[in-house]
Amino acid sequence: MTFPEFETILKESFPEVSAEASERFRMMEAGYTEWNARINVISRKDIGSLYDHHVLHSLAIAEYLRTRRPETYSSFLAPDNGTRILDLGTGGGFPGIPLAVMFPGARFTLCDSVGKKTIVAREISNMLGLGNVEIVNARAESLNEKFDFVVSRAVASLTDFYPWVKGRYSQSILYLKGGEINEEICALMSRERLRKGSISTWQIGNWPKDPYFEGKFVVDISR
């Protein structure tokens, strides 16, 4: 997917996106191409699919909020809204950096235990001039702060991931996950004794009509 193709979807889905945000999305291609050549955080076979496989995939969380949780979406858009969001296992900055561009009024902490990955995330954040992003090279259990939301992109099974952030968020986990997720959800609800109705899923493939997103979901684990 080229940037113009991505921008068309961006503006159709999020007409309120600013020109500044659009320019930051455009700058990502050169930034990630340069840094990925130095420190491989995206498969070299996949860097040409940056906009669809990584940026658009990250923004599926924004589209989920826009269509399924419009009040939350509006609060994210508000300037200096103070919402605190943890992206755990961010790698080179996904989904945190695209979401930070989309929601400049929210505060993002991008955390990864692998130092070289946080170098890339920090350099891309600095290049884009993101003042609402903090990069942390640490393990989840070392974080003391409590967040409003946790976002992440398939860094582990739900049953492994949930204990890392249990008690660290006040509203929801918004988790990008693919494959047969029903068994994972049932196992998580049983193991952690989560209340009925606390987990919902949204099929990303219903948004951009692209075969890549078939079988991929946003999993919302609410308090």
Per-residue DSSP letters for 31-45? HHHHHHHHS--S-TT
Q: What pLDDT is attached to residue 120? A: 95
Number of C-alpha atoms within 13 angstroms, CB side, residue 113?
7
Mean pLDDT, residues 102-126? 96
CB 61 within 8 A of CB 176: yes
Cα separation of the two ends of the chain: 36
d(CA 127, CA 197): 41
Q: Is the pLDDT of residue 13 over 90?
A: yes
Q: Is the pLDDT of residue 208 over 90?
A: no
Q: How many CB atoms lie within 10 A of CB 187?
A: 13
d(CA 61, CA 57): 8
The residue ranges of DSSP E strands in 76-156, in sequence order, are 84-88, 107-112, 133-137, 147-153
Helix (H) / strand (E) containing 97 = helix 96-102
Sheet holding 107-112, edge to edge: 133-137, 107-112, 84-88, 147-153, 169-178, 216-222, 199-203
Specify the pairing of strand 169-178 against strand 199-203.
unpaired
CB 176 within 8 A of CB 57: yes
Q: What pLDDT is attached to residue 180? A: 86
Taken in order of first residue, the domains within the chain and their CATH numbers are 3-222 (3.40.50.150)
* Position 155 confidence tier, pLDDT thresholds 50, 70, 90: confident
Helix (H) / strand (E) containing 156 = none
Q: What pLDDT is attached to residue 45? A: 82
Helix (H) / strand (E) containing 137 = strand 133-137
Residue 220: strand, helix, or coil:
strand
* Position 87 confidence tier, pLDDT thresholds 50, 70, 90: very high
Mean pLDDT, residues 27-36? 94
Q: Which pair of tokens denotes residue 222?
A: 């609410």
d(CA 21, CA 167): 32
d(CA 26, CA 5): 11
pTM exceeds cut of 0.85: yes
Specify the pairing of strand 107-112 against strand 84-88.
parallel
